[in-house]
């Protein structure tokens, strides 16, 4: 099993302040393989490489928005299976909410 890393450990490996990685994580977190949530979040070794590439690209002058698009073109966002819903389920939920809002509006407009 791969050893998971903290953000602090990754910062030490790369040689950048942990605060920089927190900022990058907030911008590109969709592409960082990790386990856990909040303060217990740990990162897979592949995340260290993504952070390293992000730092290099930013130092070369690339904006974080461009870095995000670059990562998106290389690897689509992976949804966590727990709590993820299918596209059809999402469509059904949106349609249900729209229908509910329309019926509330029609009811409010009646004299």
Percent of the chain with pLDDT over 70: 78
Condensed to tens digits (0 to 9), the pLDDT of residues 56-74 reads: 999 999 998 898 888 888 7
- Domains of the chain, first to last: 7-79 (1.10.1660)
Condensed to tens digits (0 to 9), the pLDDT of residues 4-17 reads: 999 999 999 999 99
Contact at 8 Å (CB) between 4 and 43? yes
Q: Give me the DSSP letters along 25-61.
A: HHHHGGGS-EES-GGG-EE-HHHHHHHHHHHHHHHTT
């Amino acid at each position: 099993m791969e050893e998971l890393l903290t953000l602090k450990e990754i910062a030490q490996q790369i040689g950048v302040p942990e605060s920089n990685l927190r900022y990058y994580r907030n911008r590109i977190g969709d592409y960082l393989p990790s386990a856990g949530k909040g303060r217990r979040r740990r990162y897979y070794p592949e995340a260290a490489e993504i952070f390293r590439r992000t730092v290099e690209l930013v130092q070369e002058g690339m904006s974080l928005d461009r870095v995000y698009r670059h990562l998106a073109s290389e690897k689509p966002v992976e949804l966590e299976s727990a709590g993820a819903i299918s596209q059809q389920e999402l469509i059904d939920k949106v349609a249900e909410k729209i229908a509910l809002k329309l019926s509330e509006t029609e009811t409010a407009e009646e004299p």
